[in-house]
Chains A and B, each alone.
Chain A
Amino acid sequence: MAANITKITFFRATATRGLATCPPVPIGGLTEYEIKNTTLPNNLVVASANNESPISRISIVVRAGSRNETPDNAGVTHTLRICAGLSTKNSTQFAITRNIQQVGASLTCSSDREVVAYTLEGTKQAIEKTLPFLTEVATQQVFRPWEVAENVPRQRLELALRSPQLRAIDLLHKAAFRRGLGNSLYSAKYQLGNISSETLQHYVASNFTTGRTAVVGLGVDHSQLVNYAQGLSLETGEGSTTPSPYIGGEIRSDKGGNLAFVAIGGAGGALKDTKERLAFAVLQRALGIGPQVKWGTTDNGVLSKAVGGDVQYAISAVNASYSDAGLFGTLIAAPSASAGKIVEAVVKVLKGGALSDADVNRGKNQLKTSVLLDSESGSNIIGCIGSQAALVGSAQSGSQIAAAIDSVSTADVNA
């Protein structure tokens, strides 16, 4: 009751008087914010932005994605992600789940082809109470064999729930890169239950090093985050990353269903080459990623115009940029009868088409819009900042990226 009194009467009055002079902060936080980057002496990257959002987010991002799997430990990143939250050196699975849920925070682990990120989201007080658990889950996992074995049905469920679109993109990567970036995000069915606790521990020991890690925060103070990152107990080192060049190939997989999903791709722009990367992103938007007006039916992209027709289909240009390679192409979803015709039209555009200035401008505007809209939502942008920090070494804010997009010219895109 005493706490209620201080909250309601006196302090609130002074607070509102003080803030009355400032413009109000939007409920999701500021949309224009600056990202501060620091690289610690042990090569750990710290990036944070204070967007004055009521929700704070802290993410530990490690370059341990599925491209680092070898044929011996295929499926280890899938298992690693599923095993996030299991017992650690100083905490049990029950304690982690209960303490985090009790304060209303949420802990997630996301993995893609290059990074694995452990994210803790919650109010400031919740984060203060549960930050040790994030450290535990990200750096001190012990992978008890019985707990790992208990999670196999969950992996099986995830495999069963994959959509055909996801499988198409997975197979596209496999055809393009074979090993490395071609490794699937998901474990193969025959490997379920074969990933032992030792495999996981070895994988973590060799990949979770300070040279491959970044700590990213949103809605937190940068100096405090640097202090926290300095306290993380990780091995120093760079680890090794095998290069994954584009090779190319074709894979067909028959799984039934009434829609055919065709993914056609070629080499794209890598993250380290900024100009190429932005040009490919603009090209993706110019070619079209589906109707951009809610519940609209017209897609003004070049691909859609080339195909035309009134059959139910969906075409989207696909662009993936990884640190040393990239993939660019299209994904077509169409009934099997008309799939052949659509594929032919799309390939013609990809091989020979040239884009007009209007198309490129459209692409640039759409890309800028989506980047800025994404950066308004903390939950989306924490992943992007995390990937940038881990892979490139510094993160750029949404407005900086938007400014860079402006500098892309039609010639870059057509090249």
Chain B
Amino acid sequence: MLKPTNVSLYLKATSQVVSNNIKPLHPNVVITKKLVTPTPQLSLTSFTLSKTLPLGNVRVISGPAVSTQVRWAHTDINVPDWSQYRRDSVKSSVAKSSESEDSRKNFTYLIAGAGTVTAAYAAKAVVTQFVSSMSASADVLALAKIEIKLAEIPEGKSVTFKWRGKPLFIRHRAADEIATEQAVPVSSLRDPQHDNDRVQRPEWLVVIGVCTHLGCVPIANAGDFGGYYCPCHGSHYDASGRIRKGPAPLNLEVPFYEFPDETTLVVG
């Protein structure tokens, strides 16, 4: 109620400089942010200023997607601070990036190059590991070599072992057999090989017991030449395993073997 005594209150305006909250003048309010609009063009000449003056009847035109659009710009998005990841030489806002450009690039290229080489090595290792797992396993490899104690084979005897799925003949030759075989003329043989080319030590003949004709197993100490005889088609081999008579074309195969010490033979 505007009583005459109250009018003086309305003739002046008061604001509190330091408030003690006993006599509040206004309730607390929240001041919202002001809208932002594009600034209008300044008209600096009389001509342009006169062109902005309306001539009378003003008509305003707008439409869907025409003249004004309000686009929502999200100003509350906080862009994180990436300075932890940035390089020290360009962190300052007045640093020229062209000055540190070479050192930054070289560092990056060095790291990238070293990393690529390491990765290539690692990849190669992994791939070879996986591919080699498809090769022969340990038990198969273990069967690839055979170790024979020579003391157990008496002289004159031919012993057969199973090696790599094939029969292996080991013959402890007597001295007269050795002499006979070494005296055979090489030119008369179908598959010319001297005995010395087929044995490392003359008293030990190591051949694979598979007939070179069609693959049967020859019988030891049989045949006309004191060696082996294949019963399938009648191939005669001598005490050096060379073909002497019969349809077989080649001598018995001599595998790779070695004598690691005096009493042991390792074939394969």
A82 to B61, CA, bound (A): 9
Query: Which of the candidate stretches A101-109, A237-245, A248-256 sits at the interface with the other chain?
Result: A101-109
* Cβ-defined partner of A284 (8 Å) among B40, B55, B70: B55
Q: Does A319 contact B (CB under 8 A)?
A: yes
For window 36-64 of B, CB contacts with A under 8 Å fall at 37-38, 40, 43-47, 49-64
Interface string of A293-304 (1 = CB under 8 A from B): 001110100000
Q: Does A314 contact B (CB under 8 A)?
A: yes
Minimum CB distance partner of A383 in chain B: B59
Q: Does B66 contact A (CB under 8 A)?
A: yes
Q: Does A400 contact B (CB under 8 A)?
A: no
Q: Does A156 contact B (CB under 8 A)?
A: yes
A156 to B70, CA, bound (A): 10
Q: Does A290 contact B (CB under 8 A)?
A: yes
A-side contacts of B46, CB under 8 Å: 291, 297, 299, 312-314
B-side contacts of A317, CB under 8 Å: 55
A317 to B70, CA, bound (A): 35
Contact yes or no, A96 B64, CB < 8 A: yes
Minimum CB distance partner of B56 in chain A: A320
Contact yes or no, A111 B68, CB < 8 A: no
Contact yes or no, A109 B53, CB < 8 A: no
Number of interface residues of A (CB under 8 A): 56
Q: Does B35 contact A (CB under 8 A)?
A: yes
Given A154-B69, A314-B46, A314-B49, verify A109-B63 contact (CB < 8 Å): yes
* Cβ-defined partner of A315 (8 Å) among B43, B50, B58: B50
Contact yes or no, B52 A318, CB < 8 A: no
A-side contacts of B56, CB under 8 Å: 169, 284, 318-321, 327
Minimum CB distance partner of A288 in chain B: B50
- The interface size bin for chain B is 20 to 34
Minimum CB distance partner of A94 in chain B: B64
A327 to B53, CA, bound (A): 16
B35, B44, B58, most chain A CB atoms within 10 A: B58
Contact yes or no, B55 A154, CB < 8 A: no
Cβ-Cβ contact count across A and B, 8 Å cutoff: 129
Q: Does B138 contact A (CB under 8 A)?
A: no
Q: Does A43 contact B (CB under 8 A)?
A: no
Minimum CB distance partner of A268 in chain B: B56
Least Cβ–Cβ distance between B65 and chain A, in angstroms = 5
A85 to B65, CA, bound (A): 9
Minimum CB distance partner of B65 in chain A: A97
Query: Which of the candidate stretches A9-17, A26-34, A159-167, A211-219 sits at the interface with the other chain?
Result: A159-167
Contact yes or no, A113 B47, CB < 8 A: no
Interface string of A242-282 (1 = CB under 8 A from B): 00000000000000000100000000000000000000000
B-side contacts of A291, CB under 8 Å: 46-47, 50
For window 111-168 of A, CB contacts with B under 8 Å fall at 111-113, 153-154, 156-158, 160-161, 163, 165-166
A-side contacts of B53, CB under 8 Å: 165, 289-290, 314, 316, 331, 333
Q: Does A185 contact B (CB under 8 A)?
A: yes
Given A81-B60, A84-B64, A109-B63, verify A314-B69 contact (CB < 8 Å): no
A166 to B60, CA, bound (A): 11
Q: Does A206 contact B (CB under 8 A)?
A: no
Given A160-B35, A161-B37, A333-B53, verify A107-B64 contact (CB < 8 Å): yes
A389 to B61, CA, bound (A): 19
* Cβ-defined partner of A113 (8 Å) among B43, B49, B57, B69: B57
A82, A321, A327, most chain B CB atoms within 10 A: A82
A86 to B62, CA, bound (A): 13
Contact yes or no, B54 A165, CB < 8 A: yes
**Using a CB–CB distance below 8 Å, which chain B residues touch chain A?**
35, 37-38, 40, 43-47, 49-70
In the assembled complex, 21 residue pairs joining A and B whose CB atoms fall closer than 8 Å, in A order, are A82-B62, A107-B64, A107-B66, A108-B61, A108-B62, A109-B61, A112-B58, A113-B57, A113-B58, A156-B35, A157-B35, A157-B68, A158-B62, A161-B68, A169-B56, A284-B55, A289-B55, A299-B46, A312-B44, A315-B50, A316-B54
**Using a CB–CB distance below 8 Å, which chain A residues touch chain B?**
81-82, 84-86, 93, 96-97, 100-101, 106-113, 153-154, 156-158, 160-161, 163, 165-166, 169-170, 185-186, 259, 284, 289-291, 295-297, 299, 312-322, 327, 331, 333, 383
Apart from A84-B64, A319-B56: 14 A-B pairs, beta carbons within 8 A: A81-B60, A107-B63, A113-B58, A154-B68, A157-B68, A158-B60, A158-B68, A161-B37, A169-B58, A284-B56, A289-B50, A295-B47, A297-B47, A321-B57
**Which 10 residue pairs spanning A and B have beta carbons closest together?**
A85-B64, A290-B50, A314-B50, A320-B56, A108-B63, A314-B49, A316-B53, A110-B61, A112-B59, A160-B37
